[in-house]
Homo-oligomer: A and B are copies of this chain.
Amino acid sequence: MMAGSAGPQGGESLLFLTDEQLRKGIEAMFFAYRAFTADPDRILENYDYGRAHHRAIHFIHRQPGLTVNALLGTLGVTKQSLNRVLRTLVDDGLVEARIGRRDKRERNLFLTAKGEELERDLSDAQRARMRAAYRAAGPVAVAGFRQVLEAMMDPEIRRQYQSIKDGAFRDGAA
C-alpha cells in the first residue's frame, strides 16, 4: 500500500520491499540468530553457565568498569535477573565488582583473568563463525548487514550500540 507509490529513489525497483522479501528477511534473522548463539551455547554446557552469563561477560569485557545499572540498561533485563547471574560470576571469581571511587554506591565491574579466559573461549567461537560469514559475503555485504541491523534497532538502543568502544568511558576504569 505504501510500496506502490513512486519511490524517493528515482526509478529504482522497490521489489526488495515486497512482503515475500520481508518474510525471507524475518526467517533469515531467526535462523541466523540460532546459529549465532549455537557455538557459545555448546561451550557453556561444560560450565554451569548459560546464555545470560555469556551476555554479561561480553559487555563487561567490552566496557571494563561499567556499573551494574549501565549493564542493566544494555542487557534490558531486571536487576533481579541480572543479579542472579552476576552473583555466580563474582562468587566463581570471573567478575570483580569494585566499589566506585567517585560514588561508593556504585559497583564497577571487571573481568578477572579467569573471566577473560572464558570470554576469549566464547568469543573465539562466535567470532570464528562471524568471520567466516563476513569473508564469504565480502565487505560490501557486511556494510549492508550492519546498516540493516542498525536500522532495525530502537533509536535509543542504537545510540547505546554506537557508543560502545566509540564513545568515551568516563569514570570507573580510570
Binding site for B on A (CB under 8 A): 2-3, 9, 12-13, 16-17, 19-36, 38, 55, 58, 62, 76, 123, 126-127, 129-154, 157-158, 160-161, 164-165
Q: Could you name 28 residue pairs across A and B whose Cβ atoms are closer than 8 Å? A: A9-B138, A17-B131, A22-B134, A25-B130, A25-B146, A26-B126, A27-B62, A27-B161, A28-B145, A28-B146, A28-B150, A29-B33, A31-B149, A31-B157, A32-B149, A35-B152, A35-B154, A36-B152, A38-B154, A130-B152, A133-B148, A134-B151, A136-B151, A137-B147, A141-B148, A142-B148, A143-B144, A144-B144
Cβ-defined partner of A142 (8 Å) among B25, B58, B132: B25
Residues of B with C-beta under 8 A to A141 = 143-145, 147-148
Known: A22-B131, A33-B33, A145-B148; 13 extra A-B contacts, CB below 8 A, are A17-B131, A17-B135, A20-B165, A23-B123, A26-B126, A27-B161, A32-B149, A35-B157, A130-B152, A133-B148, A136-B151, A137-B147, A144-B145
Given contacts A22-B127, A164-B27, contact A153 B35 (CB under 8 A): yes
- A164, B55: Cα distance in complex, Å: 32
Q: Is the Cβ of B150 less than 8 Å from the Cβ of A76? A: no
Given contacts A25-B145, A32-B150, A164-B27, contact A12 B131 (CB under 8 A): no
Minimum CB–CB distance for A64 against chain B, Å: 14
Cβ-defined partner of A140 (8 Å) among B22, B62, B144, B149: B144
